[in-house]
Chains A and B, each alone.
Chain A
């Protein structure tokens, strides 16, 4: 349990989580207007298809794959009990990882070459894209060089992550991991730390509530039935939009 390991696998994750939580809440509350996906499809729409679609679907699958292995490691291990199923899982994850890489390279190329898109590009946009690129390359390399990650992640790393949440960090397993895997983990924490200051915040406002709402929305300034009711002049009922 060396000092660097303590810093990278105990200190860093906690710092990252604090920055992530405080930063996002602060950003949403104080500069809510700036929470947007900042789409540039209007400025360039054709190339975007070949980059944005593989990137987003790929990263969704890969992210939720990691999340599942973290949340239900025993379920994943049970699934992996048969080698064929493990193989299917690995190949699928790797394929979607490749899709992320292809899409991300396309996004970076489009962002840096299209003069219009360049105008709506900030330094942070490029930085976060490169950081995710690094993460993707590391991930793909790990998938190739250190096989069967679905199993060893669920067996060794999931307990480590859980131990962080239980405020009882156990870093023996993660300290013994190969360097690339450690880098992948450290970079993941860094992405969480930088998250509130990037365009990634649009992930948190993903419009899933759309599915459960009626199509049309009408908003009233006042309660239109109570407003004329003489029995409720001193009502404490709040206007609906407050």
Chain B
């Protein structure tokens, strides 16, 4: 057992309102510079949609992540020692600026300085790369809220697994729905970017698992851009170095939450430490696809288990970090309650950012009603006069999950590597907490039904309360349990404290060594 600590994240998608405040907070702090204008270390996508860069989930195009060979071993799909060095003079899978968008600004000065004339002066868009006027083809969040459009929503790579009929059903005007998917670097346990870097510039910090690029060592071989299946490593075209999300480690070391999380309006983000067994990484990442999700969750260890604690201590994990792991909101969501799932586990990088899948608008299905159906409904179910029904009933306990607006198959292709049963389990838990709270606050459901619901989902009433608390009421310190960074030890990175201990100051630094 090689127990290490990892700062992990949970995003609760039911709560995301798609306001992009996270993206702006990140952009203002880190990527408001020449060469990185196009980079959004944090971005929010509309699903179904193609995302940023376009169709990033389609690894037939981008060749990101790992794939499992016939021998059961994994290797990088589009990079690695052989492919990476062979393609070093031209990386055939590198996304170019058009795949993101050409950064632009507007010539605002023209509005003020244009000479008098017959026409209104205009502020033409100009490229931030060349400075020349350009036609804007694409921009940040270009596909925002455009569910159902042929160019974006219907090109979502996750739709590949759905039959044409199922796709059509998804895009009926009355059933049209979308949800938001905020994305940052996943700070994976088996990062493709680290493995693909020919210079060895990318590394994972042992203490907290943050994945960073050493800017001094990066030589612009650009393999990380290809190898990251989430396309969260970006090439700075001006400095000739790659850059990526640093999980605001300077903030974290000072005890603050990362900027995107701190600024989150919907309070969808949680951050905490999880302990994992590093010995299992290779085995876990090489699992057959149908066992991936469970293996991924199994690698995370119970921070209350004395054996795990002892192994962690032996490995130099500070007590304060173990305590943070025990209070971790992410551990609760991911392991204790089993509600959060990694995004695209089939890329085999073992991402450490987990998502609580969205229940709404999944549950709110529109059906045509008839008299018989109506009589079964609770009085609070809202019916419109035209016989279309916005079904919020609890009459059919889990029926609505199968009839949800997003087919389970679609959700499963994003979050469970295609396992619909595992997906339904998570949605049922989310539903169960709602039913439980409705019983408690509205009172139109009888307790027997609530007990049945809890039994089906293996939850207790106490757990439901905790889930409800952490979902809806949680304060800042509940949502972000940042482990102390131990600056006194981190300073040893910069200098050996023994060197200056006992040295005399002012004018000369000399070790007070024993005389002859």
Contact = CB atoms under 8 A, between A and B. Distances in A.
- The reply to whether chain A is a binding partner of chain B is yes
Interface of A: 32-33, 35-45, 48-49, 52-53, 55-57, 115-116, 118-120, 202, 205, 207, 209-211, 213, 215-225, 227-228, 234, 236, 238-239, 241-242
Contact of A44 (B96, B191, B205, B215): B96
Interface in B189-208: 190-191, 194-195, 197-200, 202-207
Contacts of B195: 215-216
B492 interface: yes
Given A42-B237, A57-B89, A224-B206, A116 B97 contact: yes
A36 B493 contact: no
B490 A37 contact: no
B111 interface: no
A53, A210, A219, A236: residue with the most chain B Cβ atoms closer than 10 Å: A210
Interface in B162-203: 190-191, 194-195, 197-200, 202-203
B33 interface: no
Nearest to B493: A221
A215 B190 CA distance: 10
A37 B316 contact: no
B295 interface: no
A242 B370 CA distance: 75
A145 to B, nearest CB: 30
Interface in B121-139: 129-132
B206 A220 contact: yes
Contacts of A222: 207, 316, 489, 492
Given A41-B96, A43-B97, A216 B190 contact: yes
B294 interface: no
Contact of A228 (B95, B197, B220, B316): B316
B492 A116 contact: no
A237 B162 CA distance: 59
B513 to A, nearest CB: 14
Contacts of A39: 220-222, 235, 240
B85 A43 contact: no
Contact of B194 (A33, A36, A215): A215
Nearest to B191: A216
Contacts of A215: 80, 194-195
Contacts of A43: 96-97, 129, 237
B489 to A, nearest CB: 5
B267 interface: no
Contact of A210 (B90, B200, B316, B317): B200
B315 interface: yes
Given A42-B235, A209-B200, A221 B490 contact: yes
A49 B89 CA distance: 8
B360 to A, nearest CB: 39
Contacts of B89: 52-53, 55-57
B496 interface: yes
Contact of B221 (A35, A37, A44, A216): A37
A220 B493 CA distance: 9
Given A42-B97, A220-B206, A228-B313, A207 B219 contact: yes
Contact of A218 (B96, B206, B220): B206
Given A40-B237, A43-B96, A216-B194, 7 more contacts: A37-B240, A39-B220, A49-B90, A217-B204, A219-B206, A221-B206, A238-B496
Interface string B266-286: 000000000000000100000
Given A36-B241, A215-B194, A221-B493, A210 B91 contact: no
Contacts of A116: 97, 129-130
Nearest to B84: A210
- Chain B interface SS verdict (over half): loop
B220 A38 contact: yes
B25 interface: no
B316 A224 contact: yes
Interface in B210-250: 215-216, 218-222, 235, 237-241
Interface residues of B, number: 57
A36 B96 contact: no
B94 interface: yes
17 contacts: A36-B241, A37-B219, A37-B220, A38-B240, A39-B222, A42-B97, A44-B96, A45-B96, A207-B221, A210-B199, A216-B190, A216-B204, A217-B203, A218-B205, A219-B205, A239-B492, A242-B495
A180 B156 CA distance: 60
Contacts of B197: 210, 217
A119 B206 CA distance: 39
A120 B238 contact: yes
B492 A221 contact: yes
Contacts of A209: 200
A236 B490 CA distance: 17
Contacts of A213: 200
Interface in B101-144: 129-132
B239 to A, nearest CB: 8
B81 interface: yes
Contacts of A37: 219-221, 240
Interface string B450-480: 0000000000000000000000000000000
Given A43-B96, A210-B81, A225 B490 contact: no
Contacts of A218: 203-206
Which of A39, A53, A205, A225 counts the most chain B CB atoms within 10 A?
Answer: A39
B94 A45 contact: yes
Contacts of B216: 32-33
A207 B222 CA distance: 12
A194 B477 CA distance: 58
A57 B219 CA distance: 19
B62 to A, nearest CB: 13
A217 B190 CA distance: 10
Contacts of B493: 221, 239, 241-242
A129 to B, nearest CB: 15
A242 B129 CA distance: 38
A219 B199 CA distance: 15
Interface in B315-336: 315-317
Contacts of A42: 94-97, 222, 235, 237
Interface in B48-83: 80-81
Nearest to A242: B496
Nearest to B129: A116
Given A41-B91, A216-B191, A225 B85 contact: no
A115 B130 CA distance: 6
Given A42-B96, A224-B316, A225-B315, A48 B220 contact: no
Nearest to A220: B206
Nearest to A49: B90
